[in-house]
């Protein structure tokens, strides 16, 4: 009986700490090189007074170089400011251990594209690709993220990263503060 109890506790502890498998949207190796990208993951959702905005992350590995793709989607019937990414754009991630991790944007300007849907809403979709700096990459594996600051061409936006939330968009529960701790291993 004692042996059965110890075995059960060991199996339970292993299952609690087991990592979930990596889910890739793309995983290709060909004559040009290797590219893999994780599925998009919702890290922020704001829905208020008929306006909504969403921020998605996905990690990519291109020939051994890890990057973060950030996709921002805004939906509104009101005027929306076009915040653009440029060569000086950055993402700052404030970690719960007090450290700040900086990601730099690739040299590609992007102001997004606007699409009007059948219900009269304007939808702005914008993506940016950010590179990790070697000196702080490891910190993202150790500590949850509490705040993200996005520096655009002409503006700065702060986003509080929640521990967990259930999205109105799809009804799924997301855990954005530990996104990097759980997913960076997928692009190493």
Print pLDDT tens along the chain (188 aa): 444 444 444 444 444 445 689 989 988 888 788 889 999 999 999 999 889 999 999 999 988 889 999 999 999 988 888 889 999 999 999 999 999 999 999 988 888 898 888 888 889 999 999 999 887 789 999 999 999 999 999 899 999 999 999 999 999 999 999 999 999 999 98
Would residue 129 count as lying in a domain? yes
| Segments forming the whole domain that contains residue 113 | 28-187
CA distances from 161 to 40, 42, 55 (A): 16, 11, 11
φ, ψ of residue 106 to 5 degrees: the values are: -70, 165
- Which positions ≥6 away from 171 have C-beta within 8 Å? none
Residue 56's nearest CA partner among 127, 162, 137 is 127
Would residue 96 count as lying in a domain? yes
Would residue 16 count as lying in a domain? no
Q: What is the value of pTM for the model shown?
A: 0.85
Task: List beta partners, residue 97.
Answer: none
Domains contained in the chain, number: 1
Would residue 4 count as lying in a domain? no
């Amino acid at each position: 009986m004692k042996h059965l109890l110890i075995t059960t506790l060991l199996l339970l502890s292993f299952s609690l700490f087991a990592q979930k498998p990596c889910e890739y949207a793309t995983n290709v190796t060909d004559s040009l090189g290797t590219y893999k990208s994780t599925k998009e993951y919702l890290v922020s959702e704001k829905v208020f007074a008929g306006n909504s905005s969403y921020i998605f992350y996905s990690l990519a590995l291109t020939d051994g170089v890890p990057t973060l793709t950030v996709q921002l989607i805004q939906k509104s019937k009101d005027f929306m400011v076009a915040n653009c990414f440029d060569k000086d754009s950055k993402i700052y991630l404030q970690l719960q251990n007090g450290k700040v991790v900086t990601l730099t944007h690739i040299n590609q300007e992007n102001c997004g594209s606007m699409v009007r849907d059948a219900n009269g809403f304007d939808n702005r979709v914008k993506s940016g690709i950010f590179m990790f700096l070697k000196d702080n990459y490891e910190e993202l594996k150790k500590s949850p993220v509490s705040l993200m600051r996005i520096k655009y061409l002409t503006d700065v936006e702060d986003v509080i990263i929640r521990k967990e939330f259930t999205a109105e968009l799809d009804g799924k529960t997301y855990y954005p503060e530990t996104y990097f701790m759980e997913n960076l291993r997928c692009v190493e």
